[in-house]
Amino acid sequence: MNTDIWIYIETENGKALNVGYELINAARPIAAQKNSKIVALVVGKNILKAAQDAIGYGADSAIILDADVYASYSTDAYAEAITYLINKYDPETMMFGATTNGRDMAPRIACRVSTGLTADCTDIGIDEASGCVRWTRPTFGGNLMADIICPERRPQMGTVRPGVFRKAEFDPSRKGNIVDETANIHIDPEHIRTKLLEHVDVVAEAVNLEDADVIVAGGRGIGSVDNIHLLEELAEVTGGTVACSRPVAEAGWMNHNRQVGQSGKTVSPSVYFAIGISGAVQHTAGMQGSGTIIAINSDPEAPIFDIADYGIVGDLNAIVPALTKKLKERKM
Amino acid sequence: MNICVCIKQVPDTNRIKIDPVTNTLVRKGVPSIINPFDTYAVEMAAKLKEECGGKVVVISMGPAQASKALRVCLSVGADEAYLISDRAFGGSDTLATGYILAGAIKKIEELEELKFDLIFCGKQAIDGDTAQVGPQIAEQLGLAQATYALDVSCTNDHAIVKREVDGGYDTVLVQTPAVVTVVHTDQMPRYATYSTRCEAKKKQVHVLSSAELSELDLAQCGLSGSPTRVVNTYTPSVQKLGIMIEGSSTTELVDKLVGILDDKRLL
């Protein structure tokens, strides 16, 4: 057993998803305190660049699996290969992004190596009493936070939400060893019991809420789909991205991929405009890490004001266009 | 086509309140419901049974009161119901839960003299939100899995699963038997009618305890079989400025806000 912290770097068409690099940065304080090495585990096809970048973002070294069999994700191939590597290297800690694939694969691997896995964490640190990783996650629909540890079995494992942590500044001068394990693992095609027949992109435009610096989010209070343009105009002048709370996505006024909250995305922009959003825990669980929260709501009792830095009580149909206009004038 | 559906009775997390004095969760008076994702799984199973025949068996691990949730499932398409209940199973984390449910599923196949082609779970339970038990049942049983399913159709030894993934969906061919976890789909769960409710009342909810599930290793169940420990729980707290901007006109409010944004160089 060593004290290595492994960060799984998920790739898509050879490109790393941001969450892997975010986790490298998130693990650094733990690594510093435990004197651990951070190892990026990069799996996919044509992923050498993603592994080199992982080192630039703060990993000490990387292990790669680069082959056709990993070109598209399959539970069976990925779980088999990663389990092999865990058994071979015996890391103390392993973190995955809590993405669709991360949450599909991590429980299988944890079960195969018979260890504990904490799901969908929004914070990580060290539990002082035990020295274990402290995995913090919302539970009961975001109403309660729980700190969880895995005292005895190793690796201690967790999936961590994308967008909670920021990746480090890229440092091209960092050096690290890249170990190619591809040749040591032979995946029998018979073992892969799923076959991807088709992938369909429903969303014409990619929305990257997790990386947005400014978010303009609307809730039920915007009243109708016809008022979305008010948010879009404010977003345009602030260089922001439009988002929404669950009722708006469920009403079909905005696509689900723009939904922020416990059942949507977790975001931490510098500035978050909450417009016509009441502030149910369901929503605030996904945005309370934002730098500055500005709430505009007609109901002075709305709980959103409890977590806002600046609040305005009033009619959003008047205030939002006036704010957009003022900011536009100021820019000229 | 035989289908096992795993369900969980959960508190309605939308109706949970925080006691402002003690800052703890108020569970009293919060209604118990069937985990919403599980209701879609039950509906999906009921529809597949109508199309291809076979049996739908619904199971739940929990206290005695969870048999109420199972009985509801019997009135909306399930044929048999099993409650997996024992003090020794209490305090199980996802690893132990997956182990117990997998053991129960094997036992039920014996008792019902059938083999399940599909095992359905809701994608996650709204109280724990882990989404781990489905894949861990699959691992314990050594089966293929397809998570986040929107739709399932079946051929002889394969299922075709439409999966919800980031930005779209995947259509995946999966070898059966397989574990499938189900999201919120377009197929609204059906309602029970008077007659289906009466029929459900006549049926028995079978109970399996550690005595019936004698092949389970109790060291792998409950708290002793759970590698994770909750060391602390608390209500989320946020440190925010909480400044309300006051003004008598829209212009005044907006001017003040823009003034603050400029002063703090926020935009």
pLDDT digits (tens, 9 = 90+) for B128-138: 999 999 999 99
Tokens 């999201």, located at residue: B183
**Residue A332 pLDDT exceeds 70:** no
The amino acid occupying position A139 is: T
Beta bridge partners of A137: A146
Question: How far is A302 from B111, CA to CA, in rounded Å?
Answer: 54
Residues of A in contact with B133 (CB under 8 A): 107
Predicted pLDDT of residue A164? 87
| Mean pLDDT for chain A overall | 94
Q: Which secondary structure element, helix H or strand E, spans residue B232, and what is its range?
A: strand B229-234
Say whether pLDDT at A204 is over 60: no
* Closest residue to B130, CB basis, from A119, A130, A288: A119
Residue B26 has pLDDT above 80, yes or no: no
Chain A residues 199-228 with CB within 8 Å of chain B: 199-203, 206, 214
In chain A, residues with a C-beta closer than 8 Å to the C-beta of B261 are: 271
Facing residues of A198 across strands?
B171
B29-40, pLDDT tens digit by residue?
Answer: 888 999 999 999
Q: Is the predicted pLDDT of residue A289 greater than 90, yes or no?
A: no
pLDDT score recorded for residue A205: 62
Measured distance CA(B194)–CA(B204) in Å, rounded: 18
**Does pLDDT of A193 surpass 90?**
yes
Could you tell me where the DSSP H helices lie in B154-249?
194-202
Residue with tokens 């030894």: B157
Coil, strand, or helix at residue B124? Answer: coil
- Asked whether the domain spanning A209-331 has the same topology as the one spanning A5-191, the reply is yes
Q: Which residue has the higher pLDDT, B239 or B118?
A: B118
pLDDT, residue B72, reads 97
Bridge partners, B6 (sequence order): B59, B121
pLDDT at position B102: 98
Report the Cα B218 to chain-centroid distance in Å.
24
Å from B212 to nearest chain A CA?
Answer: 24
Identify whether the C-beta of residue A162 lies closer than 8 Å to the C-beta of residue A18: yes
Tokens 């708290």 map to which residue?
B223
Domain edges within chain A: 5-191, 209-331
Q: Which domains does chain B have, with CATH numbers?
A: 3-225 (3.40.50.620)
Which residue type does A96 have? F
Alpha helices (H) in B130-234, listed in sequence order? 133-141, 194-202
Do A75 and B172 make contact, defined as CB atoms within 8 angstroms?
no
Average pLDDT score, chain B: 93
Q: How far apart are CA A264 and CA A262, in angstroms?
A: 6
Instruction: Please tell me if residue A186 touches chain B, with a CB cutoff of 8 Å.
Output: no
Listed in order, strand segments (DSSP E) in chain A are 5-12, 15-16, 38-44, 61-66, 93-97, 117-121, 123-126, 133-139, 144-149, 156-160, 177-180, 194-201, 214-218, 241-244, 271-275, 292-297, 310-313
ipTM: 0.90
pLDDT at A180 over 80: yes
CA B153 to chain centre: 21
Region A211-221: mean pLDDT is 93
Contact A44, A76 (CB under 8 A): no
CATH of domain A209-331: 3.40.50.1220
Q: Token pair of A143, please?
A: 């109403």
Q: Do the Cβ atoms of A150 and B267 come within 8 Å?
A: no
Helix, strand, coil abundance in chain B, percent, nearest 5: 35, 30, 40
Give the homologous superfamily in CATH for domain A5-191.
HUPs (3.40.50.620)
Give the Cβ contact number of residue A276 at 10 Å: 29
The verdict on B245 touching A (C-beta cutoff 8 Å) is yes
Of A148, A150, A196, the CB nearest to B172: A196
| CA separation for the pair A56, A95 (Å, rounded) | 18
Crossing angle of helices B94-112 and B133-141, in 10° steps, is 50
Cis peptide before B20 (omega within 30 of 0): no
For the cut 80, the answer to whether the pLDDT of residue B225 exceeds it is: yes
pLDDT given for residue B166 in this prediction: 77
d(CA B172, CA B194): 38
Across the interface, whether the CB atoms of A310 and B226 are under 8 A apart is answered no
Q: Do A311 and B245 touch (CB under 8 A)?
A: yes
In the sheet with B3-7, reading across from the earlier edge strand, the strands are A194-201, B168-175, B158-165, B144-154, B178-182, B118-122, B3-7, B56-61, B80-84, B205-208
Inform me whether the C-beta atom of residue B11 falls under 8 Å from chain A C-beta atoms: yes
Q: Are B186 and B165 in contact (CB under 8 A)?
A: no
Would you list the DSSP string of A78-135? HHHHHHHHHHHH--SEEEEE-SHHHHHHHHHHHHHTT--EEEEESEEEE-TTT-SEEE
pLDDT confidence bin for A191, thresholds 50/70/90: very high
3-class SS of residue A316: helix
Would you call B132 and A107 a contact, using CB atoms and an 8 Å cutoff? Answer: yes
* Residue B137, SS3 per DSSP: helix
As a whole number of angstroms, the distance between CA A252 and CA B109 comes to 42
Q: How many angstroms away from the CA of B125 is the closest CA of chain A?
A: 9
Give the pLDDT of residue A54. Answer: 98
- The pLDDT, as a whole number, for residue B256 is 93
Report the pLDDT value the prediction gives residue B198, as an integer from 0 to 100. 95
- Report which DSSP code applies to B225: G
Contact between A115 and B227 using a beta-carbon 8 Å cutoff: yes
Which residues make Cβ contacts (< 8 Å) with residue B248, sequence separation at least 6? none
Lowest-pLDDT range, A15-24, B69-78, B232-241?
A: B232-241
- The nearest alpha carbon in chain B to A285 belongs to B236
pLDDT tens-digit readout, A45-83 = 999 999 999 999 999 999 999 999 999 999 999 999 999
Q: Which of A159, A116, A127, A95 is nearest to B232 (CA)?
A: A127
The stretch B207-213 carries a mean pLDDT of 98
How large a percentage of chain A has pLDDT more than 70?
A: 98
- Chain centroid to CA A282: how far? 17
**B240, A309 in Cβ contact below 8 A?**
yes
- Interface membership of A127 toward B (CB under 8 Å): yes
pTM of the model: 0.86
Above 90 in pLDDT, residue B224?
yes
Residue A240: phi and psi, rounded to 5, are: -100, 180
Q: Are B165 and B178 in contact (CB under 8 A)?
A: no
pLDDT of residue B172: 97
Residue of B nearest to A235 (CA): B267
pLDDT of residue A30 exceeding 80, the answer is: yes
Task: List A residues 11-70 in contact with B (Cβ-Cβ < 8 A).
Answer: none
